[in-house]
Structure 1
Amino acid sequence: MAHSQFDIFLKEATYPDQASGTSLDGDRLYGLYTSWCVINQQPPGTESSFWSAMKHRISPRRNGLRMKGPAAADYILTSYPGLV
């Protein structure tokens, strides 16, 4: 079975952490997705297509997801340029 770009993104750039009680909010999750696309030289889907796909994969409120991997580092460094 072929996995969509969104499935691969979730596998490579996020991990579930229900115990922490925190979740990636919408802006951070989409920003992480765009960083993942840049790193993997993939054209990002539109924001509306991203959210349409996510509603079938994660809970819209408390998704319990945390960032991981190179996309997380790229997102953080891009979002907070003073860290460099």
Structure 2
Amino acid sequence: MAVSHIDRFLNEATAPDQDGGFSLRKDQLYGLYTSWCMINRSIPTATAEFWSEMRTRRIRSSDSRLRMTGPAAADYILATYPALV
């Protein structure tokens, strides 16, 4: 069975945040997703569809319990904080 676009994003660009201290917020998670899409030359789904997919996976926008990881994390951080470059 093929892995869905969203599942691939979650597997490649996020990791569990066990203590909840650094969980991605709503805007950060979607921003990470768009960075992941850009790196993978994939068209991002609309925001509403993205959050619908997150809800089916029991990922809340208020407390995702996820941290960012991998190349998409680096891209997102550099895009968000250009002074770091």
The answer to whether the superposition gives a TM-score over 0.5 is: yes
**SS of equivalent to 2:19:** helix
Question: What is the aligned length?
Answer: 84
Partner of 2:50: 50
In the alignment, structure 1 segments of 5+ residues that lack a partner are: none
* 2:13 corresponds to 1:13: yes
TM-score, structure 1 as length reference: 0.92
Distance 1:47 1:20 in 2: 24
TM-score, structure 2 as length reference: 0.91
Whether the 8 Å CA contact 1:22–1:62 is kept in 2: the answer is no
**SS of equivalent to 1:10:** helix
After superposing on structure 2, the runs of 4+ consecutive aligned residues of structure 1 that deviate more than 3 Å are none
In the alignment, structure 2 segments of 5+ residues that lack a partner are: none
- Pairwise CA RMSD: 1.2
Whether the 8 Å CA contact 1:13–1:36 is kept in 2: the answer is yes
